[in-house]
Amino acid sequence: MHGLVRAAGAHAPNIAHIADRLTLHRGDLADRDSLAGALAAARPSEVYNLAAASSVAASWEDPALTGDTNGLGVARLLEAVRVTCPGARLFHASSNEIFGPGDTADEQTPVVPCTPYGAAKAYAHHLVNGFREAYGLFCCNGILFSHESPRRGLRFVTRKLTHGAAAIKLGKANEVRLGTLEAQRDWGYAPDYVAAMPAMLQTVSAMA
């Protein structure tokens, strides 16, 4: 099993339990050559792109960085796969944010993103489809809704609530401060989402 990191020691606590089974390669979605080098060294049969600037709210703080990472970064990765390991199957983590606002969404919902995050994800989503059609690569989009696990960062509302409740219980805080209370989200369980990813790559043909 191989993984990509931008810097030595990055996320070390999160992967400590599988460190003895994991080979790490240095690479960055901003640098296509580094991606190609990592792919050449790993020689993967499957590639999972889960890298992204992950906060929708924070995408307004730096839209250009979000676009470069979540949009152009996927373009660089697809090109690196095409050149280096075209037989590999690629899963890309797309997002329900490509559909913009609305109570429900499925594959037939119009793509009308309304945030920098959603726009970048929409670009990447279409590009994955384009590379599949143009080059015959086995690459597919998994349209992921919000999913939670104990690893969720404190910037996200579920961790804000649990962390804040624990702080109040321990006498370290008196309140939990939140932003808008009008937002609505569907939430899934991250391990369930992860189980679906290899299942998609092991199907007979890639779907959008």
**Would you give per-residue pLDDT tens digits along the chain (208 residues)?**
999 988 766 667 778 888 889 899 999 999 999 999 999 999 999 999 999 998 888 999 999 999 999 999 999 999 999 999 999 999 999 999 999 887 678 888 999 999 999 999 999 999 999 999 999 999 999 999 888 877 777 777 888 888 889 999 999 989 888 877 777 767 788 899 999 999 999 885 545 4
What confidence score (pLDDT) does residue 10 get?
63
What confidence score (pLDDT) does residue 140 get?
94
Helix (H, G, I), strand (E, B) or coil at 153: coil
Two tokens, residue 182: 């009008």
- What is the fold, at CATH topology level, of the domain defined by 2-145+186-201? Rossmann fold (3.40.50)
Residue corresponding to tokens 């983590």:
93
Spatial CB neighbours of 109, under 8 Å, sequence gap ≥ 6: 99, 102
Under 8 Å between Cβ of 100 and 72: no
From 45, 126, 113, select the one nearest 85 (Cα to Cα): 45
Q: At 179, which amino acid appears?
A: G
Count CB-CB contacts under 10 A for residue 165: 12
